[in-house]
């Protein structure tokens, strides 16, 4: 369930970040496949980061722009990736744009300019310490943008086998009243496009941490689920009641899932430290691709 747009399929486009890494190339393949299914344009966004200025004792830091050689290299890689997408799908409209600065700001700027409703990036392979110090592109986008964000991860052998046998599902994590409608709507939309089933994962904790938000009442969940099933009658569904550790339950179901869909409450750092965040856990630790809505 995404905002309507101007593409042939009702979408304005899919925006994907590209930095030349293997993770980014995997994200581009995923985004291109979705754009083709949605019959909307694909936008590749690259960035040229400015070098960190050197600071000498007694001298002010100099503001240096990106190196022109680096800019040409980034532009050539971006152009080649866009050409590859066009060559694999003649009907796919592909655009490319290069910005100065960090990737999250370039993606947000471009998505706002074209009215795109989905941002796609490669799943971070950073260590936990690196994420704490430097953050991640997906995490920054979730914190600063209103659009759904997809963190694409390369499929594991277990996931490939599950997909080949039709067992891999789209997992919809329903742990909050404020996001349950978006989570279920998005999960059913994707599952219908892929011909997959939806596993509805709802938490039933025995006790709640300080500041944690209430879960989804069973009656409300049933109502939302019934509405989605009526709108997508071809999509099979099963419901799983989780444990009092929802984050761990999500990670277990992500091992052979094709996609995990989670809601985001824009929780602050203090809230996450005290009560945890299922969306944060899934985004940074799940083994499969994650969609945060």
Are 186 and 139 found together in one domain? no
Confidence (pLDDT) at 9? 46
Which of 152, 179, 194 is at the close of a domain?
152
Closest CA to 281 of 201, 226, 216: 201
The answer to whether residue 221 sits within a structural domain is yes
Report the C-alpha gap between 158 and 214 in whole angstroms: 34
Band (pLDDT 50/70/90 cuts) for residue 60 is: low
The answer to whether residue 67 sits within a structural domain is yes
3-state secondary structure of 134: helix
Confidence (pLDDT) at 128? 45
Q: State the DSSP code for 288.
A: S
The answer to whether residue 175 sits within a structural domain is yes
Is residue 257 predicted with pLDDT exceeding 50? yes
Residue 217: which domain range?
157-292
Confidence (pLDDT) at 75? 94
Distant-in-sequence, close-in-space partners of 61: CB < 8 Å, separation ≥ 6: 53, 54, 55
Most confident range (mean pLDDT) of 25-39, 67-81, 165-179 is 25-39
Are 178 and 271 found together in one domain? yes
pLDDT in tens, 180-212: 999 999 999 999 999 999 999 987 544 444 444
Are 134 and 181 found together in one domain? no
Are 195 and 111 found together in one domain? no
Are 117 and 212 found together in one domain? no
Are 146 and 177 found together in one domain? no
Closest CA to 142 of 126, 164, 120, 160: 120
Are 22 and 146 found together in one domain? yes
Confidence (pLDDT) at 204? 59
Q: What is the CATH number of the domain that holds 104?
A: 3.40.50.620
Which of 105, 130, 152 is at the close of a domain?
152
Confidence (pLDDT) at 146? 84
Positive or negative, the CA dihedral 15, 21, 23, 28 is: positive
CA angle 251, 139, 142 (to 5 degrees): 100
Report the C-alpha gap between 13 and 228 in whole angstroms: 24
Are 138 and 169 found together in one domain? no
Q: What is the CATH number of the domain that holds 163?
A: 3.40.50.12370
Are 44 and 112 found together in one domain? yes
Q: Total domain count for the chain?
A: 2
The answer to whether residue 6 sits within a structural domain is no
The answer to whether residue 4 sits within a structural domain is no
Confidence (pLDDT) at 271? 43
Confidence (pLDDT) at 61? 52
Confidence (pLDDT) at 18? 95
Are 23 and 148 found together in one domain? yes
The answer to whether residue 228 sits within a structural domain is yes
pLDDT in tens, 84-135: 999 999 899 999 999 998 899 999 999 988 988 899 999 865 444 334 333 4
pTM of the full structure:
0.83
Is residue 56 predicted with pLDDT exceeding 60? no
Are 145 and 186 found together in one domain? no
Neighbour count for residue 145 (Cβ, 10 Å)? 15
The answer to whether residue 74 sits within a structural domain is yes
Which of 137, 152, 167 is at the close of a domain?
152
Q: Which residue has the tokens 């943008």?
A: 145
The answer to whether residue 162 sits within a structural domain is yes
Band (pLDDT 50/70/90 cuts) for residue 143 is: confident
Are 168 and 266 found together in one domain? yes
Band (pLDDT 50/70/90 cuts) for residue 159 is: confident
């Amino acid at each position: 369930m995404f905002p309507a747009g101007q593409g042939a399929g009702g979408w304005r486009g899919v925006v994907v970040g590209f930095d030349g890494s293997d993770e980014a190339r995997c994200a581009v393949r995923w985004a291109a496949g979705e754009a083709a299914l949605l019959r909307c344009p694909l936008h590749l966004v690259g960035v040229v980061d400015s070098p960190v200025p050197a600071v000498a004792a007694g001298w002010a830091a100099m503001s240096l722009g990106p190196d022109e050689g680096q800019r040409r290299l980034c532009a050539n890689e971006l152009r080649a990736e866009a050409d590859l997408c066009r060559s694999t799908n003649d009907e796919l409209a592909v655009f490319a744009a290069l910005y100065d600065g960090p990737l999250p700001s370039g993606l947000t700027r471009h998505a706002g300019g074209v009215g795109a409703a989905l941002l796609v990036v490669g799943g971070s392979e950073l260590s936990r310490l690196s994420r704490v110090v430097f953050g991640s592109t997906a995490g920054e986008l979730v914190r600063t943008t209103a659009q759904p964000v997809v963190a694409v991860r390369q499929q594991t052998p277990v996931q490939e086998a599950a997909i080949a046998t039709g067992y891999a599902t789209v997992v919809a994590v329903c742990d909050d009243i404020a996001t349950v409608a978006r989570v279920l709507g998005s999960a059913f939309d994707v599952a219908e496009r892929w011909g997959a089933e939806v596993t509805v994962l709802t938490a039933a904790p025995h006790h709640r941490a300080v500041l944690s938000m209430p879960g989804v009442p069973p009656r409300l969940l049933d109502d939302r689920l019934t509405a989605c099933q009526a709108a997508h009658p071809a999509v099979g569904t099963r419901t799983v009641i989780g444990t009092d550790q929802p984050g761990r339950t999500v990670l277990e179901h992500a091992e052979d899932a094709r996609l995990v869909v989670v809601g985001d409450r824009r929780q602050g750092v203090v809230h996450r430290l005290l009560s945890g965040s299922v969306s944060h856990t899934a985004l940074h630790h799940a083994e499969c691709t994650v969609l945060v809505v």
